[in-house]
Structure 1
């Protein structure tokens, strides 16, 4: 099925390209761009037999040209005489190509171009011989055909080199996109694991309290049903703790700790975040301008956590922007003394003064889904604060004015970023 599709592609492509031509040397002999396209297809579709493909292509072009020629002279014999020599050209081309290139083991672009040159020249000589009914040509004609073969081979070479560069460009773009997605996904993944590790101590504390309750109930004259209930609660919490830790350890094993050893340039980090943020803004049809400034470049060791911090603050700023006006989200990175300062600001709705003391608390959120009414889980700013303080030994502060905007300022010691 694949061969059939490729054969059809060759026929259609060559027939279309055959419309680009000029008359040359003798009457009814044309030099067409279709030969260049045909050679490019032979190079690309290596699974196609060049002899069969050439014969089918030659017949197809002959039929197509016959229709065009017949409409102008309405003489069938004359039409056949004008168009059928092209079958000989393509058949000869396929045969020569088969033995010069298709059958050899070690193939490369240089051998291919030399083969197409020979195929073009010899096939043209054969076609002219048929059209003029002679077995030899004069030196002027031979030189002209050599030039034609050379030019068309060079054109095929240029096209193939262009295609190779284009494919390399697409592959590079794809790899860069995969790399960006990997960085962002791993950042979220590792940040969630970090948050789960923090929660593990809270689960441990709940388990201790549940066993303490059971011990108190057991030592006093409480009903047996209450004793059994407290014991069941203690056992259930213990099982939950074991399952939680097992899942957490499995996730930690999945994350590649070696990646953290690779230092990452802050400009590369921000470029990744900028592309991701723009894609999100465009997909959501938001009217938001991004203004990211990096006043000093440096390398970050634990870059996944820093990506998570900055991304959370940027997307928090985007969500705060009012739909009724043009939003502006700014990121400024600079160095002050021995600290790096990360400032994320917006011109959004701002935060109520009464909420400023609680925005970093676990579970606190003022955001909700307008369609479902579900409140967001509210761990973004909590995670940001934990990562800033525990991982980077830094600090985070917030300034906000209602209906004017909010600014988050993260201060991280230089030695914490580059260690």
Structure 2
């Protein structure tokens, strides 16, 4: 059913295209748009046998044209004569195309071009020969038919090339979008794994303290239930630690460690982050201008972590806008005296002076969800500082004025960025 529907659509398109034509040489010999449509549709529907397809087209299209001629007060015998020549053209075209192109296994666009030029030329020669009763041939007729075949085939090939190029651009854009999404997701997971690794050490300290408490209680004259409780705490923490380690291992196995050794250009990193943040701004209908300035180019080895740092600071600035109008976030990246400097500025609500010394502390947050009342987990800036200092051996500082805006500055040595 689907095959029949496709053939019917092809036949209809060609029938309509046959109504755009010019007369040439002898009555009822026309140069139509359909002979541009036909090879284009044959190329994109290669699953159909061209002989079978053109035979159906060679019946539907000429009949349609014949009907249009008949209602135009053309004599019936002349209509039949015209229809017969059209049928002959399509039948010949399909047979020649079948042997020159469709039957071949090693095909390319060059083969296709040569095939449709030949099919067009041979079919037109046969059609005009019938209309001329195989006499009165002139050299200029063959020359003109060859030029027409070449021009029509060139148009068809150009259309196919444009279509393929358009598909290539779409595919490239889709691949880039998926890769960008993969980089962003990986950066989030890696930064979370880093933070979990730090928490693992904290959990181990708690376990050691609980066990140390058990030893003290057991050596002194304390109730046995105290000893048992402290030992249970140590055991429970140990089990939690094991589960935690298994989760970390599972996440690390999901990530390809080889990707850490693949350097990424800072401009590519910026392009990915910019596309992601602008999409967020557009989706949430925020009145925020995002401006990136990259004055110096360099490669970044542990780029997933840098992506996490920059994104975190940008989204922190977006939250600081708190629905303000004419918000602006500027990200400036440059090199100076052997260091890579990243500056993130915004004109948001700023940070109170009494809070500045606490913003990098775990759990500290001045933000909460107005709908639910839940306090934000406050790990963003802790993440940022930990990654900057531990992963890149860099430094981060902040300057802020309440009601005016905030400026974060990160400085990392070039050799630490490049690896």
TM-score of the pair, normalised by structure 2? 0.91
Q: Give 1:76 deviation, angstroms.
A: 5.8
Match in the other structure for 1:319: 319
> Could you tell me whether the CA contact under 8 Å between 1:363 and 1:377 is conserved in 2?
yes
CA distance in 2, matches of 1:11, 1:221: 100
Gaps of 5+ in 2: none
Match in the other structure for 1:412: 412
Match in the other structure for 2:354: 354
Q: Secondary structure at the match of 2:241?
A: helix
The one-character-per-residue Cα deviations of 1:158-182 (angstroms, maximum 9, x if unpaired) are: 2222223222222322232233222
Match in the other structure for 1:112: 112
The one-character-per-residue Cα deviations of 1:37-61 (angstroms, maximum 9, x if unpaired) are: 2112222222111011112222232
Question: What pairs with 1:20-59 in structure 2 (closer than 5 Å)?
Answer: 20-59=20-59
Match in the other structure for 2:208: 208
TM-score of the pair, normalised by structure 1? 0.91
Question: What pairs with 1:41-190 in structure 2 (closer than 5 Å)?
Answer: 41-73=41-73, 79-134=79-134, 137-190=137-190
Match in the other structure for 1:258: 258
Moved more, 368-377 or 268-277: 368-377
Question: What pairs with 1:355-370 in structure 2 (closer than 5 Å)?
Answer: 355-370=355-370
Pair 189,101 (structure 1): closer, same or farther in 2 beyond 3 Å: same
Q: Secondary structure at the match of 1:35?
A: helix
CA distance in 1, matches of 2:144, 2:161: 26
Pair 131,181 (structure 1): closer, same or farther in 2 beyond 3 Å: same
The one-character-per-residue Cα deviations of 1:8-61 (angstroms, maximum 9, x if unpaired) are: 453344344334322222222221122122112222222111011112222232
CA distance in 2, matches of 1:132, 1:200: 92
Q: Secondary structure at the match of 2:56?
A: helix
CA distance in 2, matches of 1:398, 1:193: 25
Q: Give 1:219 deviation, angstroms.
A: 4.0
RMSD over aligned CA atoms reads 2.4
Instruction: Answer yes or no: is 1:246 the counterpart of 2:242.
Output: no
The one-character-per-residue Cα deviations of 1:117-162 (angstroms, maximum 9, x if unpaired) are: 1211121123224444446743332222222212111112222222
CA distance in 1, matches of 2:214, 2:300: 49
Q: Give 1:331 deviation, angstroms.
A: 0.8
Q: Secondary structure at the match of 2:376?
A: coil
Segments ≥4 residues shifted beyond 6 Å:
none
Match in the other structure for 1:274: 274
CA distance in 2, matches of 1:216, 1:9: 88
Pair 112,329 (structure 1): closer, same or farther in 2 beyond 3 Å: same
> Could you tell me whether the CA contact under 8 Å between 2:62 and 2:87 is conserved in 1?
yes
Q: Secondary structure at the match of 1:104?
A: coil
Match in the other structure for 2:387: 387
Q: Secondary structure at the match of 1:91?
A: helix
> Could you tell me whether the CA contact under 8 Å between 1:42 and 1:50 is conserved in 2?
yes
> Could you tell me whether the CA contact under 8 Å between 1:364 and 1:378 is conserved in 2?
yes
Pair 51,379 (structure 1): closer, same or farther in 2 beyond 3 Å: same
Gaps of 5+ in 1: none
Match in the other structure for 2:7: 7
CA distance in 2, matches of 1:380, 1:63: 73
Q: Give 1:226 deviation, angstroms.
A: 4.6
Pair 161,288 (structure 1): closer, same or farther in 2 beyond 3 Å: same
CA distance in 2, matches of 1:362, 1:262: 31
Moved more, 367-376 or 252-261: 367-376
Q: Give 1:97 deviation, angstroms.
A: 0.9
Q: Give 1:345 deviation, angstroms.
A: 0.7
Q: Give 1:412 deviation, angstroms.
A: 1.5
Moved more, 45-54 or 131-140: 131-140
Question: What pairs with 1:210-249 in structure 2 (closer than 5 Å)?
Answer: 210-220=210-220, 222-249=222-249
> Could you tell me whether the CA contact under 8 Å between 1:3 and 1:47 is conserved in 2?
no
Pair 35,373 (structure 1): closer, same or farther in 2 beyond 3 Å: farther
Q: Give 1:381 deviation, angstroms.
A: 0.8
